[in-house]
Amino acid sequence: MTPMKIVICDDLAQERAILRDYIRRLEKEDSLELDITEFDSAEALVAAYDKGLNPDVVFLDVYMPGTIGTVAAKALAERGYTGSVVFCTTSLDHAVESYKLKADGYLVKPYSYEDFLGAIWRCRAHFEKSKKCLSFVSERIDYQIPLSDITYIETANRGCDVHTVKQTLFTYKKIGEIEDVLRGEAAFLKIGRCYIVNMSRIQKTDTDSLFFADGGSVPLPSRDKKRLLQTVNDWFWRVARGDTDNA
């Protein structure tokens, strides 16, 4: 079983200890493997992410010296983080903002173990979905790429280029084969004959193209622009309402 990587970010050691105890209790009760990393500031968390840390869940205090939790969550999202965020705070003042940031939970201190379970349940569902992979061979190497890491796929030569958050890999799989594998995955949308995009990775749109955080873009076919843009907009609204996973 792949361990779930959990970050606790809170400037107060006693608050980190409470949450750490809850996580270890869950680990024992459900026979899970949970990896915990702790930070006492948002700046340290973001710096660690920039150096390669990529957690599945971040429990993030809002009120901390320096960068506050909501600002840190935005910074992580801008860098491509798609895991779960759960805010832990003493006030309800940021509840609406957490909704806009697509957080998987909002815990008001002091919170109970049962409150914690309600938040981590949503995170676990997100985690399990994020571990679904696209399998293919590239340059004689077998790859298992998590679907959440894919930005878009495009036809190239006699196969496809698979663009991910870290690299682009060529496979001789045809786009039709990949489309069959992704069938039923709500985040993936076929664009014309040549592209499949992960809508959760779209950073912005205009009337002609879809744009991704890594600088890539996908053109929209002129005869189908209106329908495709509406589909993308509908996806974002569904995610904002919590009707589908953000991955």
Domain spans, the chain: 4-130, 133-241
Give the three-state DSSP class for 231: helix
pLDDT band at 247, cuts 50/70/90?
Answer: very low
Residue 17 CB contacts under 8 Å (≥ 6 apart), including other chains: none
Average pLDDT, rounded, for the chain: 90
- 171 is written with which tokens? 């496979």
**pLDDT tens sequence across 150-202:** 999 999 989 999 999 889 999 999 999 999 999 988 899 999 999 999 998 99
Q: H/E/C letters for each residue in 148-169?
A: HHEEEEEEECCEEEEEECCCEE
**pLDDT tens sequence across 52-104:** 998 999 999 999 999 989 999 999 988 888 889 999 988 887 777 777 777 88
Q: Which residue has the higher pLDDT, 214 or 96?
A: 214
Fold that domain 133-241 belongs to in CATH: OB fold (Dihydrolipoamide Acetyltransferase, E2P) (2.40.50)
Name the one residue in this structure whose structure tokens are 């663009």: 163
Separation of CA 25 from chain center: 25
Asked if 108 contacts 91 with a C-beta cutoff of 8 angstroms, the reply is yes
Q: According to the model, what pLDDT value does residue 132 have?
A: 83
The b-or-e profile of 84-122 (16+ CB within 10 A means b, else e) is bbbbbbeeeebeebbeebbbbbbbebebeeebbeebbeb
Asked if 75 contacts 43 with a C-beta cutoff of 8 angstroms, the reply is no
Fold that domain 4-130 belongs to in CATH: Rossmann fold (3.40.50)
What's the rounded Cα separation, in Å, for the pair 56 and 29?
20
Residue 236 pLDDT exceeds 90: no
Of the chain, the percentage scoring pLDDT greater than 90 comes to 68
CA atoms within 13 A on the CB side of 16: 16
Taking the model in full, what pTM does it have? 0.61
